[in-house]
Amino acid sequence: MKFSDFPIQDILKKQLAVLGFKRPTDIQFKAIKHILNGEDVMAVAQTGTGKTAAFVIPVLHMLLSKKGSKNDGVQVLVMVPTRELAKQIASVFQDIGKDSGIQILGLHGGVEQESQISKLQKRVDVLVATPGRMFDLIAQGHIDISRLACLILDEADLMLDLGFNKDIKDVLKKIPKNRQTLFFTATISKKIKSLAYDVVRDAIRIQISPKNPVAKNVEHAVALVEMDDKRFFLENMLKEYADLKFIVFARTKVRVERVVAAMQRVGVSTEALHGGMEQKDRFAILDRFRNGENQVLVTTDVACRGIDIPDMDYVINYDLPENPENYVHRCGRTGRGNKRGQALSFCSKDEEALLTQIEEYTGEEITRYDIHPDEYQDIIFDADDPHYNWKKLIEDNEDPNAWADK
């Protein structure tokens, strides 16, 4: 089935074709028809399966088909856990709904309220919001969700992890009981089920979740690399595949900054992204990365959930995550939709227990990339940062001919 075969407005079909949407992914195929029928949906779909478009397309169709006043207040509320996700989902609505006349606002903290209030005073049909800023503006009388037609919870499992359970229940008190509710989560647990049953009614359950929660179209490998040698192997990868797009995950913001500094010393252009930065700077960095102005992003797990970067070739786990679930979300930044992706992890001796936890969580052993000892040493010795390559310095100083011609 193609998107052109769906019973949706022609303006959406044309825009989907412009954007390169041809055939739906599994979650889109299974969810769109039920959402178009006005049914509640509870969907469990791993990262990178295309679940954002699975609700954006039918919701836009329903808004375009709706007769009556265009000033009924917010009709669709999408609640999300992070600012980056609010901005991204609002962008998807705007891209697919281009020239439709539907008004979309991504609402989040970290920016001034004035421009957001100005848009709310005119008209907003679709509000994509983080709870904090939304409740601030509801309290100030700038947002009316009393006539809401559709509530969407996206990344519901992360919302619970971040402590937004009460915020969700507070929203339920302010919106009509007679509404459509769409509940999307990457993982399922007793807490998630409990929340879902509080929110949805007689929902259609959709689960796109194989035994291995890692996306099927991502190839995984792990290289056993000592902690102090990781920067040499990263340099080797980034220089060998200089035309590809990489996202590199490190454990802490200090580690991120150190990796970026190490790559700068060897002439590899990278940018850092972590929670210690101003929100406007984080948005600007992500925009540059999406636009291809920078090919390498080094980040903490702040970017492991819900961030969609087109044509992401490679995920590098510079450090293994302490939470095995985050391995799945990190690797889900590549191989999105129907595209193929690569994920390579560097594992030191101290991280072998984390690797075991990841394999137990995914239910599959990750392929080991066997590095011959000679190849391992060549990668270190060929690094362009000899000042910091203490092993190479020792080797040179032990060789009586090393400085003969200098």
Whether 399 maps to a domain, the answer reads no
**The domain boundary residue, chosen from 163, 190, 208:** 208
The predicted model gives 74-99 an average pLDDT of 92
The reply to whether 204 and 222 lie within a common domain is no
The reply to whether 49 and 180 lie within a common domain is yes
The reply to whether 142 and 246 lie within a common domain is no
| In contact, 77 and 151? CB cutoff 8 Å | yes
The reply to whether 254 and 354 lie within a common domain is yes
Whether 246 maps to a domain, the answer reads yes
Tokens representing 325?
């679930």
The reply to whether 203 and 273 lie within a common domain is no
**The domain boundary residue, chosen from 156, 179, 208:** 208
| In contact, 42 and 181? CB cutoff 8 Å | no
- Angstrom distance (rounded) from CA 255 to CA 274: 10
Whether 85 maps to a domain, the answer reads yes
Return the closest-CA partner of residue 184 out of 154, 146, 141, 157.
Answer: 154
Full domain range(s) for residue 173: 3-208
pLDDT of 208 higher than 90: no
The reply to whether 264 and 387 lie within a common domain is yes
pLDDT per residue over 277-335, tens digit each? 887 888 888 889 988 889 999 999 877 676 777 788 999 999 999 988 889 888 888 88
| In contact, 326 and 350? CB cutoff 8 Å | no
Whether 334 maps to a domain, the answer reads yes
Whether 14 maps to a domain, the answer reads yes
pLDDT per residue over 370-386, tens digit each? 888 889 988 888 887 65
Local structure of residue 380 (DSSP, 8 states): H
Lowest pLDDT segment from 184-188, 314-318, 349-353, 354-358: 184-188
User: What's the pLDDT score for residue 46?
Assistant: 73
Lowest pLDDT segment from 103-107, 370-374, 392-396: 392-396
Which helix (H) or strand (E) element contains residue 271?
Answer: strand 271-273
- 3-state class percentages of the chain: helix first, strand second, coil last, to nearest 5: 45, 15, 40
**207: confidence class by pLDDT, cuts 50, 70, 90:** confident
Whether 406 maps to a domain, the answer reads no
- Angstrom distance (rounded) from CA 96 to CA 391: 54
Return the closest-CA partner of residue 53 out of 325, 341, 336.
Answer: 336
Which helix (H) or strand (E) element contains residue 204?
Answer: strand 204-208
| In contact, 248 and 231? CB cutoff 8 Å | no
The reply to whether 239 and 319 lie within a common domain is yes
- Angstrom distance (rounded) from CA 334 to CA 320: 17
The reply to whether 56 and 200 lie within a common domain is yes
The reply to whether 264 and 373 lie within a common domain is yes
| In contact, 87 and 116? CB cutoff 8 Å | no
Whether 402 maps to a domain, the answer reads no
Tell me the residue type at 234.
L
Q: How many CB atoms lie within 10 A of CB 120?
A: 21
The reply to whether 271 and 123 lie within a common domain is no
Q: How far apart are the first and last CA of the chain?
A: 69
Paired residues of 219 in beta bridges: 342
Lowest pLDDT segment from 135-144, 168-177, 293-302, 337-346: 337-346
The predicted model gives 203-209 an average pLDDT of 84
- Angstrom distance (rounded) from CA 117 to CA 95: 22
Tokens representing 337?
């939709």
Q: How many CB atoms lie within 10 A of CB 111?
A: 17
- Angstrom distance (rounded) from CA 406 to CA 359: 50
| In contact, 222 and 344? CB cutoff 8 Å | yes
The reply to whether 185 and 250 lie within a common domain is no
- Angstrom distance (rounded) from CA 203 to CA 201: 5
pLDDT of 147 higher than 60: yes
**The domain boundary residue, chosen from 159, 181, 208:** 208
Assign residue 198 the CATH number of its domain.
3.40.50.300
- Angstrom distance (rounded) from CA 181 to CA 199: 7
Number of domains in the chain: 2
